[in-house]
Amino acid sequence: MQEISNSVRQRLRARPQPEAHPDADVLSAFVEQALPTAERQQVVLHLSECSHCREVVSLSLPEPQVQVEAQQIVQPVPTRSRFWIPAFRWGGAAAMIAIAAALVVERPWQKPPGHHDQLAQYSPQPAPPTEKEQTATTSNPATDSAISASTVEAKQDESAATQARVAKGPEKAADKPTAPPKSLGVVAGVSGGALLSAPPPRRVAAAPIAGSELSAANQSAYSYKEASQDYLNTNMLQKEKANENGTFVSADSASALPSAPVPQNTSGERAAGQTKPAFPAVTLDNVTRSAFAVNITPPNTTTAAGPTDVTTLKTSKGLFKIPRKVGGAMVQGIERAGAAGAAQPPSVSSGFSSSAAMARPSFKVADSGSEAKADARAQFHWRVINGTLMKSSDETQWHEAYPQDSELQFKVVLAEGHQVWAGGNNATLIHSWNAGVNWETLKVPDSASGDITAITVDDGWQVKTSNGQTFVSQDHGKTWVPLNQEPK
Amino acid sequence: MSVGPKAVEAAKPAIRGLFEKSRGERYGLTLASFEAILEQVATKYAPAATVEQKLQLWQDLRIEELVLTRGCVAGHELAWQEFLTRYREKLYDIARGITKEDSSGRELADSLYAELYGMNERDGRRVSRLSFYMGRGSLEGWLRTVVAQEFVNRYRKQKRLVSLEEETEDGVQFASTESFSTGPADGRLGEATDEALDRLPAEDRLILAGYFLDDRTLTEIGRMLGVHESTVSRRLEKLLKGLRKQVVAGLQARGMNRGQAEEALEVDVRFMTVDVRRRLQETRPGAFQEDKGSD
């Protein structure tokens, strides 16, 4: 097809360019698909001839972000499951029966204890040292001759270091037994003692271990009974080790075994005298806190740095420094929820949403990425333009946000997340709790007159009018009192 | 086409409704001046239309934005305030998006803003470019198109002023002249291709021109036509197949047998005006593009 495209390209280029061009009005209407069909055909005809206008139209196409947003809104069309096709349905049933039959016949849960040796060779961990490597650790000149000089040196260094580690192993492990493994998949050290700090013994079996002591320890570890082969709680193993003398490890290795990391309390200190892992009790408070993944330090632990004036929030993903005003509001919100009584644990409704101004920061600090993105997407910009309440998601396209008649003229708008207040003439005050989807008209007292010129929601809701009046509401706008009559 | 007085009278309520919808009184417009604006639009785009057709045209206009621009042209302060609030930043964003650079985009937007305000005078009156807006599309779209036109015009002006050193670096001075590749060896191929192209609908020719002449992507062409890129891809493939058949048939109608027609298409490749060097550089990996001058 290449030859025809070359020919087409050449003949298209040879076509004469038209002299007259449609004006910007028509071209912009064409881009916006706003032209009648006949006129659109004329523009298409012109564009097929005129490279200048094609360039202009191409440049004046709006950014494709709108299309992306539109695609996000489109709901996925539900499709019929393929498994409802009869062939798949019967095939699936047959497969399940076959699996069940295999389980009944084979009984894999009743395998003899030695089967872990077979499993170990499929372990993703590094393979145990081969005979050749073990020979290299002893620096046998006969085998060294087959290896290049550099390899020999490297292996000799490595074997020397390995031997030194093996020799020092128990003492070194005993020196710092409290060092916890960095992760479950990491095998700490090379000594047999490190086995206990590693996760499952079946994975440890493939670890590079050198020396006769280690192989003995390994064998004893493998011969340990099946119950210990599961993902281990090292404290439990130690306890059972004490009960069953010698069945697990030798005495030397036992002294070198590092104890498992003891759960630490929030201050980072090890709980004294704990013999069992002390998991925090499951309470509604814990569940709520873990759900939000936010730990608030008490107010007296906030950083006292004056100029920055920040509050430190400790989350599961690290520390966050946020302005004191926001952090203070969050802490107050949680304290207020706690003060409401133990029977009423902090929850979304009491601890976070009781005040509109406090509701948002907690979600912003929460380390849930999807929530943060959703919150960022939901940000709107608000303005009052010539008495009209306007809303925009990107500050480029503004839409009328409230269906108002010609008499209503807005003067001020205040937005806190999805909470929006707008005030206008004749002491009109409206409020939306869902970013302008629904609106409620708040009843400011009849004594209020003039235009609403200011709205604040720091401590209760407060509005000011152009006649100098100030009204306060402590019940989310249901009742309003003048500022000098505000009930204590 | 003459329009009877009865028809004009029948259109009055609709015009009054449009005037109220436009809120033109905010910018000092009267009903009479509003009617004059509508008549101006109709004269430009539908001079021979009936009253009903004109009414249809007027109802499709962006009336509010049209009266806003007319208020700006008249120098109404509220109109300018609103225009600046709604479109000033947008104008900068558009210019930045088109020029792909901050400083030149700002410069372009500033120069256009001066034209929109009307720095030039004609017959003692300030001439604002906003007076050319007729409300067929949105004001933002019109501004975007105007910025694009200005950008293309500037680019073409600047492109003429290329230094000799730059021409030497680009190999322009040593490029072969067009006379060596004026066209196909056999004029019948060009005729057959032209004939096949003429038979195509305008939209198909636009797809071909956008793809082969402007090197636009399928997505860009699709956005221009308001269709999905996969639709453009399918149409393009179908178009080329159909074109090939038609060109071969045209060549056969001009006295070639099928083999000769196929051969003419293949032979023609040698006479194409293709910048091989540029094409090869486009397809080479990025690491090879740095040694442009060495090869």
Tell me the nearest-neighbour CA distance from A2 into chain B, angstroms: 9
Residues from chain B that touch A399, judged by Cβ atoms under 8 A, are none
**Which residues of chain A are within 8 Å of residue B268 when distances are taken between CB atoms?**
3, 6-7
Q: Which of A373, A401, A435 is the last residue of a domain?
A: A373
In this predicted model, what pLDDT tens digit does every residue of B197-247 receive, in sequence order? 888 899 999 999 999 888 889 998 998 888 898 999 999 999 888 888 888
* B209 with A26: Cβ contact below 8 A: no
Query: What pLDDT, on the 0 to 100 scale, is given for residue A338?
Result: 47
Looking at the structure, tell me whether residues A220 and A251 fall in a common domain.
yes
Q: What's the pLDDT score for residue A60? A: 87
Three-state SS annotation for B177-200 = CHHHHCCCCCHHHHHHHHHHHHHC
If asked whether residues A303 and A249 sit together in one domain, one would say: no
Q: Would you say residue A261 has pLDDT above 80?
A: no
Instruction: Evaluate whether residue B204 is within a structural domain.
Output: yes
Residue A213 lies in a domain: yes
* Best residue of A1, A2, A6 to probe chain B, by most B CBs closer than 10 Å: A6
Q: Residue B243: which of A4, A29, A55 has the nearest Cβ?
A: A4
Residues B92 and A430: their CA atoms lie apart, in Å, by 34
pLDDT top residue among A20 and A64:
A20
- Whether B43 is in a domain gets the answer yes
Q: Report d(CA A35, CA A29) in Å as an integer.
A: 6
User: Cβ(A411)–Cβ(A423) under 8 Å?
Assistant: yes
Closest alpha carbon within chain B to A67: B223
pLDDT in tens, B60-74: 899 999 999 999 988
CA distance A288 to A10: 70
> Tell me, what CATH number does B231's domain have?
1.10.10.10
Question: Closest approach of chain A CAs to the CA of B208, in angstroms?
Answer: 8
The answer to whether the Cβ–Cβ distance between B265 and A27 falls below 8 Å is no
Residues of B in contact with A13 (CB under 8 A): 213, 273
**Do the Cβ atoms of B220 and A58 come within 8 Å?**
yes
The domain of B13 spans 5-69
Q: How confident is the model at residue B295 (pLDDT cuts 50, 70, 90)?
A: very low
Residue B145 predicted with pLDDT over 90? yes
Q: Is the residue at A109 inside a domain?
A: no
- CA A445 – CA A429 distance, rounded (Å): 11
Q: Check whether residue A368 and residue A382 sit in a common domain.
A: no
Nearest-neighbour CA in chain B from A388: distance (Å): 11
Which chain A residues contact residue B151 at CB under 8 A? 59
Question: What is the structure's pLDDT at A285?
Answer: 54
The ipTM assigned to this model is 0.79
pLDDT category, A95, cuts 50, 70, 90? very high
pLDDT at position A377 over 50 = no
Encoded amino acid at A208, one letter: P
Residue of A nearest to B156 (CA): A52
Structural domains of chain A, count = 4
A325-358 per-position pLDDT tens digit: 544 554 454 455 444 444 343 333 333 333 333 3
Calpha distance B162→B143 (Å, rounded): 30
What pLDDT, on the 0 to 100 scale, is given for residue A281? 54
Residue B257 lies in a domain: yes
Q: Tell me, yes or no, whether A123 and A196 share the same domain.
A: yes
> Does residue A12 fall inside a structural domain?
yes
Do A8 and B132 lie within an 8 Å CB cutoff? Answer: no
Last residue of a domain, one of A45, A60, A75: A60
Same domain membership, residue A248 and residue A162: yes
Q: Would you state the pLDDT for residue A367? A: 40
Q: Would residue A331 count as lying in a domain?
A: yes
A48 contacts in chain B (CB < 8 Å): 202-203, 205-206, 208-209
Percent pLDDT > 90 in chain B is 18
Neighbours of A29 (CB within 10 A): 29
Identify the pLDDT of residue A270: 45
pTM for this structure?
Answer: 0.43
Distance of residue A422 Cα from the nearest chain B Cα, in angstroms: 19
Is residue B197 included in any domain, yes or no? yes
What distance in Å separates residue B192's CA from the closest CA in chain A? 10
User: What is the per-residue pLDDT for B148?
Assistant: 92
Mean pLDDT for the stretch of residues A236-261: 43
Phi-psi region of A3 (alpha: psi -120 to 50; beta: other; left: phi over 0): alpha
The three-point CA angle B277-B279-B280 to 5° equals: 65
The size of the A-B interface in CB pairs under 8 A is 171
Q: Chain B residue closest to A42 (CA)?
A: B202
Structural contact between residues A398 and A390, judged by C-beta atoms closer than 8 angstroms: yes
Cα separation values, A232 from A202, A226, A228, A460, B250, Å? 11, 11, 7, 55, 82
Q: Which domain holds residue A398?
A: 378-485
pLDDT at A51 over 50: yes
- Residue A412: inside a domain, yes or no? yes
What's A424's domain CATH number? 2.40.128
**Domain assignment of residue B218, yes or no:** yes
Contact between chains at A10 and B133 (C-beta distance less than 8 A): no
Q: List the single residue in B with minimal CA-CA distance to A399.
A: B86
* Predicted pLDDT of residue A111: 59
Comparing CB atoms, the residue among A1, A55, A385 nearest residue B86 is A385
Res A209: pLDDT? 40
Interface touch A59/B26, C-beta < 8 Å: no
- More confident: A398 or A171: A398
Pick left, alpha or beta for residue A389 (phi over 0 → left; psi -120 to 50 → alpha; otherwise beta).
beta
Smallest Cα–Cα separation from B71: which of B5, B119, B116, B111? B116
- Say if residues A416 and A432 touch (Cβ distance below 8 Å): no
Please report which residue ranges of B200-271 form alpha helices under DSSP H: 202-208, 218-225, 229-253, 258-267
Last-in-domain residue among B69, B92, B120: B69
CB of A293 closer than 8 Å to CB of A315: yes
pLDDT of amino acid A119: 46
Domain count of chain B? Answer: 2
Q: Quick one: A222 and A308 in the same domain?
A: no
A162 & A219 share domain: yes
Residues A418 and A307 in one domain: no
Q: What is the pLDDT of residue A323?
A: 52
**pLDDT at position A156 over 90:** no
- Whether B212 is covered by a domain: the verdict is yes
Task: List the single residue in B with minimal CA-CA distance to A59.
Answer: B148
At A264, the pLDDT band (50, 70, 90 cuts) reads very low
Q: Which of A373, A400, A419 is the last residue of a domain?
A: A373
With respect to residue B106, please indicate whether it lies within any of the assigned structural domains: no
What would the pLDDT profile of A278-313 be if each residue is shown by its tens digit? Answer: 455 555 555 445 444 444 444 444 444 444 455 554
Q: Is A98 inside a domain boundary?
A: no
pLDDT score, position A469:
85
Query: Percent of chain A having pLDDT more than 70?
Result: 38
Contact check, Cβ <8 Å, B214/A54: yes
Spatial contact of A367 and A317, defined as CB atoms under 8 Å apart: yes
Same domain membership, residue A417 and residue A360? no
Query: pLDDT at position A484, please?
Result: 65
Q: Tell me the mean pLDDT in the region A137-145.
A: 44
Q: Give the SS3 label for residue A429.
A: strand
A390 CA to chain B: closest CA distance, Å?
11
Per-residue pLDDT at A52: 87
